[in-house]
Structure 1
C-alpha cells in the first residue's frame, strides 16, 4: 500500500559527514531528536525511547536497525510497546557538496493506527515535518554548531 507511506525531504546547508553524525551519534541525536540512551548504526541493533504528544501520554518506541549504508542510508523498524503495528523509517542521504539532501520515508504507518488517535497518519506527517524542517534544521544550520 504505497499511498500509506510518508515522505519528507529537505536539503540542509551542511556537509554529509555532519548530517550522518547527527543521525547516528547519541549525543547529537539527543539535541534534536529524542532522548535515546544507546544507539549504534549496525544492522540488528535495537534501541528504544519515550515520546508522544506534548500534552499527552508518552509511548515507548521500540526500534531495530534493519539496514545501514554509511553516509547513505539508515533504516529501522518503528513500533510501540504493547500496541499493534510495525512500520519502517528510512533515512536516505544524498551528498550535494556543502549541502545534503535528506529523504525520510515512513512506511506501513497504517499498521499503527489501530493503537488509537495518537497513531493517526496525520500526526506522523506533522511530527516528521517538524523534525526535518525545524528541529534537525536548527541543529545542523543554527548557531553554535
Structure 2
C-alpha cells in the first residue's frame, strides 16, 4: 500500500441500531469477538493509544493504534501502524443511521507507504481484510443467523 494509492473504502449495512454498531466498534469486549481477540485495551477517546501483537506465519505485527478523532455514534478515526514495519495510515469508521438500518463506511488512507515486500501490505490484502471484517465478521456478530 502506497501513499499515492486511492483510499480503500468498504461499506456495509446492518439491520440493527446505531448504538449496537457503535458499541461493537468501540467497546473492548465486543471488539475482541469480531475484530482482534488480541486487543489488550481500548477506549474511544481522542489521544488513547494501545498496542497488541498479531502473529502470521512466524511474522510479528505489533499493531500501534492512536485514536485521532471521536464523534460518539458517528465517527472514530485511528492512526494505524506497525512497530516492525515502515508505513503509516489512518483508519476511519463512519456511521450513518437510516430508518431501519445503519450504514458503516470504513476508510483506510495511507499516509506513508508500507513495505511492498510484505504480503499483508498489498492493496488486495488490505481490501480483502477490511471486506472480511466489515462484510462478514462484524455483520455476523451484529446479526447472527436465527
Q: TM-score, normalised by structure 2?
A: 0.89
Give unpaired runs (5+ residues) of structure 1: none
- Say whether residues 1:100 and 2:102 are aligned partners: yes
Are 2:85 and 2:115, in contact at CA under 8 Å, matched by a contact in 1?
no
Give the 3 Å change call, closer, same or farther, for CA 2–93 of structure 1 in structure 2.
farther
Deviation track 1:16-69 (CA, whole Å, cap 9, x = no partner) reads: 00000000110000000002111111110001222354x553411101000000
2:43 to 40, 44, 50: 40
Measure the CA separation in 1 of the matches of 2:58 and 2:15: 34
Aligned residue number for residue 135 of structure 1: 137
1:91 to 85, 90, 93: 93
Question: In structure 1, what is the equivalent of residue 7 of structure 2?
Answer: 5
The TM-score with structure 1 as length reference comes to: 0.89
Tell me how far 1:119 sits from its aligned partner: 1.2
Residue 26 and residue 66 in structure 1: after superposition, are their counterparts in 2 closer, same or farther (change >3 A)? same
Give the structure with the higher percent helix.
Answer: 1
RMSD: 2.0
CA–CA distance in structure 2, aligned partners of residues 41 and 98 of structure 1: 25
